[in-house]
Chains A and B, each alone.
Chain A
Amino acid sequence: MITAATLAALATACAVGSWRLTTARWTSRAPRVAIILWQSLGVTWGLAGTGAMLAYAVQPYGVGVLPGLIAFADGRAPREPWDVLHVLAMIAGLTALAVLVAVLLTAGTQVLRARRRHRMLLALISHDDPVVPGVRVLDHPGAAAYCVPGLRSQVVVSEGALRLLSEDEMAAVLAHEAAHVRERHDLVLLPFAALRRALPWSKVVRDAQTQVELLVEMAADDRARRYCCPRRLATALLRFGTAGAMPAPQGMLGVHAQSLMARVDRLVKPAPELPMRLRYGVLALSVTLVTSVPFLWVYQL
C-alpha cells in the first residue's frame, strides 16, 4: 500500500511540477537543463502513474510491482484472494501502460515514415547550390529552413530563404540547424509530440510540448552563437517571422510570435546564466526522479 501511495504521490508531484514549469521564467536562461528536467518529469510521471495502479493491483501477491506482474503473468495464485478493486486496478494499470507504449511506438513509426517520404522527395526534386555547400535547396519562393533528422540528417533551405537572408544570416541559420543535427533534438521532441497525441485535451501536455519546442530552439540558438554573430541570428529570425510567404493557420499565431520574440530578446540581450548551484540542483532533482521510479517498481516499501 505504501508503494502505491508513494508512486501516486510522485505522479501527482510530477503533474504539479510540469504545470509550474510551463510558466517558469528561469528556463530560457538554461534551456538544456530545463529540457533534461522536462524529460525526467515526463518519464517519471508516466511510470509512476501506471506504477501506482499496478502496485495496488499486485498487492495480493505481497511483492513489488515488477515481481508481482511477473507472478501474475505466470498465473501464480496470490497469497490473498483477488477482489474487485484489485482486479479493476490491474485492468486500468495495464491499459494505461499499453496505451503509453502504443502511442510512443505509433508516433515513432509515423515520424519515420514521414521522414522517409520527405527524404525520397528531396532526392528527386531538391538541388545543390554552391552558395550553401552540403545543404539541399528547394525551388520555392517561400522562406523555409529546416532539418530532416535521422542517421544521415539533411539540412534544407528554400530559394526564398536564400533570397531573404544575407550571407552572414544564412551562415547563422545553418549553424543553428547544425546544432539540431548534432544534438538530435528530434529525439527530445518525439515523446512530447506523442504524448500530445495521446492526451489532446490536456492543457498541461499542450503547454509542455510548446515549451520543449521553444527550449530546443533556444538550445540550438545557444550553440549557433558560438560560431556566428548572435545579432545576425536574431535578424534572420525576424526576417523569417515577417516573411509571411503563406498564410499561417489560425490559432498558432500568438505562440509563434511570442516564442520568436523570446528567442530574439535573449540573442540580443542575453540574461545572466543560471547560477551553477541552481543548475546542479535541477540536474540532481532530475536524476533523483528518474532513478526513484525503477526502484519503486522493483522493491516494495
Chain B
Amino acid sequence: MKGLGELERSIMDILWAQREALTAREVGRLIADRDLAPTTVMTVLDRLTRKGFLQRTRDGRAWRYEPAATRDAYVAELMLEALDMTGDRSAALTRFAQAVSGPEAEILRRALTELEDE
C-alpha cells in the first residue's frame, strides 16, 4: 500500500479534477489503487478535512467532500511566502535571492550582460 502522504496527494488530485463534491465511495472508485479498503479512504478524507484542505457537507447518510481552495490558490500561497511577499519578514524560509524592479533591475541586467560577455 502507498504511504498516507502519497494517498492524501492522489485524493486531493482527484477532488481538484472534479467539478462537484464527491462522497468517499465515489473517491474510492476513482482511485487507481483498487485494493484500497473503503475505511482507509474515509480516514484520509477525514484527515484532510481536519487539516483544513477539504470541506464536507452532509448528503443523506454520507458526507460529500470538496477542496477548500483551488490548487492554484495553494501554489500562489506558497509562492508568496517563497518570494517573501507576505510582509512579515519572518524567518520561516531561507531564500536564494529576491527580484528587483525599476531602475535597479536595469543595473543588474547590465551587470549580467557584462558577466556573460567575459
Q: Which A residues form the contact surface with B (CB < 8 A)?
A: 107, 110-111, 114-115, 118, 120-125, 138-140, 142-149, 156, 158, 173, 176-177, 180, 185-186, 189-190, 192-193, 196, 209, 216-217, 220, 231, 234-249, 252-254, 256-257, 260-261, 263-264, 268
In the assembled complex, which residues on chain B have CB atoms less than 8 Å from the CB atom of A185?
A: 94
| B60 at interface, CB cutoff 8 A | no
Query: Does the CB pair B75–A125 fall under 8 Å?
Result: yes
- From A156, A234, A261, B107 is in contact (CB under 8 Å) with A261
Q: How many residues of B contact A (CB 8 A)?
A: 41
Query: Does the CB pair A144–B108 fall under 8 Å?
Result: no
Query: How far apart sit A56 and B50, CA to CA, in the bound complex (Å)?
Result: 52
- From A189, A231, A253, B104 is in contact (CB under 8 Å) with A253
User: What's the least CB distance linking A105 to chain B, in Å?
Assistant: 14
| B81 at interface, CB cutoff 8 A | yes
Are A240 and B93 also in contact (CB < 8 A) when A118-B78, A118-B81, A261-B107 are? no
In the assembled complex, which residues on chain B have CB atoms less than 8 Å from the CB atom of A231?
A: 115
Query: Does the CB pair A238–B82 fall under 8 Å?
Result: no
In the assembled complex, which residues on chain A have CB atoms less than 8 Å from the CB atom of B98?
A: 240-241, 248, 252, 256, 260
Q: Which B residues form the contact surface with A (CB < 8 A)?
A: 5, 8-9, 12, 51, 53, 71, 74-79, 81-83, 85, 87, 89-102, 104-105, 107-109, 111-112, 115-116
Query: Does the CB pair B91–A146 fall under 8 Å?
Result: no
Q: Which residue of A lies closest to B96 (CB)?
A: A145
Instruction: Give 11 pairs: A residue, B residue, CB < 8 Å, sorted on A.
Output: A110-B90, A118-B93, A142-B83, A173-B96, A176-B96, A180-B94, A209-B89, A237-B97, A244-B105, A248-B100, A252-B98
In the assembled complex, which residues on chain B have CB atoms less than 8 Å from the CB atom of A247?
A: 101
Query: Does the CB pair B94–A242 fall under 8 Å?
Result: no
